[in-house]
Amino acid sequence: MGDEVIIEQNGVELSNVEEGPTGKEKIDIEEDESADDRPAWDNKIQYLLSQIGFAVGLGNVWRFPYLCQRNGGGAFLIPYLIMLVIEGIPIFHLELAIGQRIRKGSIDVWNQINPLLGGVGVAMVAVSFLVALYYNVIIGWCAFYFFNSFQAPLPWATCPGNGTVLECEKSSPTAYFWYREALDTSESIEDGGGINWKMMLCIFTAWLIVCVCMIKGIKSSGKAIYFTATFPYVVLLIFFFRGVTLEGAGDGLAFLFIPRVEKLADPIVWLEAATQIFFSLSVAFGGLISFSSYNPRKNNCTRDAVVVAIINSGTSIFASIVIFSVLGFKALTDSRKCLQEFQVVMDNNVPDFASQNMTVTASNYMDLWGTYNTTDTAVRDFNFGYCSKEGNLNNAVGGTGLAFVVFTEAMNQFYPLEMGPFWSILFFLMLANLGLSSMFGTLEGVITPLRDAGIWKWRKEFLVVLLCVVCFLIGLIFAQYSGSYWLDIFNDYSGTFPLLIIAFFENIAIVYVYGLNRLSDDLLYMTGSRPNIYWKVTWMFLTPVSMLVIFGATIYTEATRTITYKGWDSALGQVVDKGPYPWWGEMMCYVLICLPTLFIPLVFVLRLTGLMPYRGETLKAKQKRTVPGAISKQNLLKMRFSDLKAHSTEDSDSVKAMLP
C-alpha cells in the first residue's frame, strides 16, 4: 500500500493514501485488533496445517474414490473440478475472509453482520454437532482395527473354525471380521440388539483422545496438528509406491481415469460432485470461520483459500490413485482365484477337459461354461461372481467397506505376509489421524461460537469436557449392534443437504447484506489487494445460481424415490437390500435434514418480531460510535462540504475548517 503519512488537524487524521478502506472502517479494524485478546496461532504454518487437516479427512480416502468409481471414473472428475471452481473455492474464501475480519465464531459473525441472520450461525453449530456425533465413531472403528493389528497373522487373514463357520466361508475373512467380529451387526435397523461393548470402548477411546487434544484450545490442538495433518501424507506416499508396483495396479488406474462420458448426462453425478466438494472442504460447518478468526487481520486469506482447496482436491485424487492401484491388484487376484476354482471344477467333472490338458483363462471361461453347462450340474451352478476383473472393480468400492473390508483383504495379499501387521498399523493409524484433524475443526465449530456469543461463560476446558461427554453418550446409538445402520443415516443426511442450504444463505448474507464493496475494502486491508473478476462473478452469480439448481435437483431426487437401506445377511454372507426404512427411520432422515436448517428462518422470525432481541453490538453500531478519520488528503480537496454528510457534525466542522 506504500508509505503512509498521517497528519492530524482538529482531531481528524488525514492520510496521503488514496486506496484502502475508509478511515472509519480502518480505525474500526485497528481498534478492534488492538483491544482483542483473542488466542492466536503460533505461526502461519500451524494455521495452514490446521485448515488442511480440517479440510482433508476420511472423505478424501474412502468417500471420494467411491463416488468416483460409481459415477464413471474419470467422468466424475469433470463435474467435480467444475464445482470446485464455481462453488467450493469461492465459499471457502468467503468463510476465511469473514472469520479473519470479524474475529468471532460462526454464531457471533452473523449476529454482527445482521442479527436477523443469526440463524445461519446456529445452523452451522447444529451441523457440526451432528457430524461430530458419527464422525468420531469412524475413528473408533479405526482404533479397533489398529489394536487388532499387533498380531501375526492378522485376525482377518483367514476364517476361524477351519471351515466350520459358514458365514465366513460364504463371504470372506475380511468381510466376516468387519461385520461379525468388529460390528457384530444385527440383521436390520429394527433389531437394536443392545450395546457392543468392544466398540463402545473404542468410541470412548476416540472421544478421550479428542478431548485431551482440544482441552487447551488451539494451543494444544495446534501443536497436535503438526503430526495429525502431515502423517497421513507420509503413509499415503508409502502406500503409493507399494500400490503402483503391485501386479494389476494398471487395471485399477485405467478404471479410475478412463471416463465413461455418458455419465455426464446424469444430473445425479453433478449433484454428488457438488456434495462431495462441500463435505470435503468442510465449508458451512463453521470450523473454517473459527480457525480463521484466530489469525491476525493482515493475513492473505485469498492465497490461503486457493492453496488449501487445491491441496484438498489434490489429496483426494492422489488417495484415489493409491486406492485404485490396490483395487486393481485385488481385482486381478480375485479373478485368478475364481478361474483356478473353475479349472478344478472342469478337471473333476469334465473328463475330456482334463485329458486334453485344457486351461481356463479370462478369455475362454464363459465359452467353456456355455459348452458344458448342460452336461454337468457342477459346471452349470458355478458362481462366476469374481472371475471378471472389470466386474470386481465395479463392485469393489463401497463407503466404509473400502477401508474396513477391501483394503484389509488387499493387505492380506501383500508380500511378504509377515509385513501384514506393519501395513495394517500404518494404514489405520493414518485413517485415525485423518479423522482426528477433521474432528478438531468440527468441534471448534461448536465451541468457539458458544463462547463468543456468550452462551458459555465459564472456562473453555469445562465446555470441551462437557461436549465430549454429551457426544459420547448420544453416540452410544452407534455402539449398538445396529449402529452401522444409524451411522449410514447420519452420514447420508446430516452432513450433505443441510450444508448446501447453509452455504447458499452464507453467500447471500456476505455478498448482498454485508456488501461486496465492504468485503472488497476488508480484503484490501487484510491482503493488500481487492478481489478480482473471478471472485466477484462467482460470489454474485455463479455460486448462488449453481447451488439453487442443485437444490432443485436434490428436492426432485428425494421426492421421487423411496429411501431404502442395505445390510448384512449372515445366512448369505453378503450385503443385501433390506428395503425401505421403518417409518421412524425415514422420519429421522428428514429430521437430520430439517433440524439444522430450520434455525435460519426461526431466528429470523424471532428477531424480526422482537421475541428474541440481539443484545450485542453489530458492526454497523460499532462503526457509528467509532471516530471517523483517514480521509484521503487529495480526495478531501476535491470534495464539497455537502458530500461529507456521512460524518458526524463535530467531525464535519473540523473538516470544514480545512477546506479552501
The answer to whether the beta carbons of residues 278 and 89 sit under 8 Å apart is: no
**Residue 438, annotated as binding a ligand:** yes
C-alpha separations of 549 from 44, 90, 267, 553 in Å: 37, 17, 10, 6
**Residue 280, annotated as binding a ligand:** yes
Buried b (16+ CB within 10 A) or exposed e, 307-344: ebbebbbebbbbbbbbbbbbbbbbbbbbbbebbebbbe
Cα–Cα distance measured from residue 26 to residue 117, given in angstroms and rounded to the nearest whole number: 25
Q: How many degrees, rounded to 5, is the angle at CA 439 between CA 616 and CA 182?
A: 145
**Residue 396, annotated as binding a ligand:** no
- The H or E element containing residue 235 is helix 231-244
- Give every residue of the chain whose pLDDT is below 50, as ranges: 1-20, 23-25, 27, 29, 31, 33-35, 627-660
CA 608, 610, 611, 613 torsion-angle sign: positive
The answer to whether the beta carbons of residues 500 and 274 sit under 8 Å apart is: yes
Kindly report, residue by residue over 109-163, the tens digit of the pLDDT.
Answer: 898 899 999 999 999 999 999 999 999 999 999 999 999 999 888 999 889 988 8
C-alpha cell at 162: 477351519
pLDDT at 398: 61
DSSP 456-525: --S-HHHHHHHHHHHHHHHGGGGGBTTHHHHHHHHHHHTSSHHHHHHHHHHHHIIIIIIIHHHHHHHHHH
C-alpha cell at 185: 451387526
> Mutual orientation of helices 89-102 and 301-349 as an angle, nearest 10°?
140
**Residue 312, annotated as binding a ligand:** yes
C-alpha cell at 72: 464413471
pLDDT at 294: 82
Cα–Cα distance measured from residue 91 to residue 397, given in angstroms and rounded to the nearest whole number: 30
**Residue 56, annotated as binding a ligand:** yes
Which residue matches cell numbers 472456562?
Answer: 459
**Residue 434, annotated as binding a ligand:** yes
CA dihedral 390, 393, 395, 398 (to 10 degrees): -160
pLDDT at 223: 63
